[in-house]
Chains A and B, each alone.
Chain A
């Protein structure tokens, strides 16, 4: 990837959008960002309300989690103690108030504070998502440019089919296949988990663990721990990353083809700009807006995929815990995890919109 800021300053680059931006005034962008930032609040509010109502539609969480295991009297007692027998609106207002103080309640099945679960396991999911994004960027963007440049020739054909295959394979199936081939048959990589027991123990005794196993492994100062963590990360990262890489490749290809045929690209070529520079700067930069917008959309896909990947590899992150709590019908925990993931996506969408507005003034309204 080339740095976009250089391309803007480049006199040969597409200058038309830049002039327009100056004409429309800088205050416009500031207002757009603030409007968009304020719009996150209702977004999160709607999400919280929606999850709350949906989860209460099926009854109170205590009956769902413990029904059948406790007698009717015991159930009533616990429901009354937790306040689930009050009117829904009272519970709702109380819940919103609690969220503002960072209190998501305690799980029913094992009585842990939800906030603690989010902090403990959130890091693992984030780590997996970062690995996957690295794979996706390294593979998706350059291959997409190559595919666009060799449009309809054999490299394009091969790359396109590859991209579709990556995308068409459900992440849990590619995860299972990787596991079967590289972990069970070839025995190159570990079957499951984030690290072997030895490394996990080392990390546990760290004074200030970050939740990111790779950083923690570096903190232990033991190179065996680092390589152990990395070897555990390869298969999950690859499984989740290939899915996203396929989407990125296709996206970059379509949009770069669109801009490659533009007249300013011909003009640049006639001035003797190198072919590589044509693709990576002149054609790639104007294609960035749709690319960035759709990439932002992929965060939701990535997090959904993380839930499945974590299940296959017993990667103890939010997705893994979500499935555990779902099967225990512990909806307080489910509510907390779902909410956190949803808020992450809302914030990502905001960042993506701002970046798109920075690049193209027409997006601002």
Chain B
């Protein structure tokens, strides 16, 4: 299998299937197509068009099957590799995992807009809007509820697709120094301690491409 992704520093969508596959030991070849600058540059679009009609990363390629959209990729992997347990085994718990994964997939737009994933940015507190604060509150509630119900350390016990869906959220809360409760902090530490997290981050920090749209402090580019 091949996974087509964007810049590791910025591409929150790409991080999801990448960390899911890496953390679960699913082998794949990585194809990185940098966004370049400015966003939407013709080269990125032209190169990506060879892999997907939707024009978005990530894309999973398995023989003649091309799957785009992170959630669809998770479902594809869950079916193909049932032993990897991307979703919890119990039907009720699985429904919960899918509900919060979908909620992530289509929600939290204020927080995502104000705190773009940017691994290179040193941890620095940023003031966020009331809407983004409400997003943070809901994310903390989702994580806290899962870890209380299913005993942690990940959302549903062992690492799975739901954790992968929320991985960029862990990065955002960390990078922008968002104030969170102890339980939330403990979950973030668990995620950031994954070897796969370290590997992705290392790749992100080695990149030199700057995307102004995702630099919250623009025209300043904060680097460690």
The judgment on whether A and B are partners is no
Chain B residues at the A interface, C-beta cutoff of 8 Å: none
Residues on A close to B: CB < 8 A?
none
